[in-house]
Amino acid sequence: MTAAPVVRCPACRTKNRVPGAAAGVPHCASCKVPLPWMADADDATFAQVAEASATPVLLDLWAPWCGPCRTVSPILEDLARRHAGRVKLVKVNVDQAPTTARRFGAQSIPLLLVLAGGKVVARQVGAAPARTLEAWLDQALGAVGGT
C-alpha cells in the first residue's frame, strides 16, 4: 500500500496523514474533527481498504479514459468532505482491478455503490448531478444508520 495521503483539517487547517485502511474514523490530531476519508484500492487491497471498513463506503468504480467518471469524481470528493466521519470514499480503477469490477458487475461506469459491512446497500450507474448523488448517498446512509 502507498504512503498515507496528507489531508488538511477543514476546521483548523492542520495537516494529517489519513491511511487508506484503519480502524474507526480518522480525526484531526489537533482539533479532533472528523477528517474526509478518501482512498484508492485495487484487487489486492480492496478487502483491507473497503470491506473491512467500519464506516460505510462510497465505492467509485471508474476508469481514467471515462469522461463521465472524470465529471463525477470531484462531486464524490466533495461529498466525502461534506460527509466526513460518516462515509469513506474508495476509488477503484476498473482497468487495474478487473476482479473487483467483475465482482460488482461493472458493465457501465461510473458505477457507484454504497457498502456497509462489505455488503451493497445502494447502487447508482452512470453520472448524475451533484444534488442527485447527494440525495442518493443521504438515503443510503440513512438506511444503514450512517446519518
| Active site members | 66, 69
Q: In angstroms, rounded to a whole number, what is the distance separating the alpha carbons of residues 30 and 16?
A: 9
Residue 88 grid cell = 469513506
3-class secondary-structure state, position 53:
coil
Of 18, 4, 144, which Cα lies nearest the Cα of 84?
18
* Residue 145: Cβ within 10 Å count: 8
Scanning the structure block, which residue is given the C-alpha cell 458487475? 105
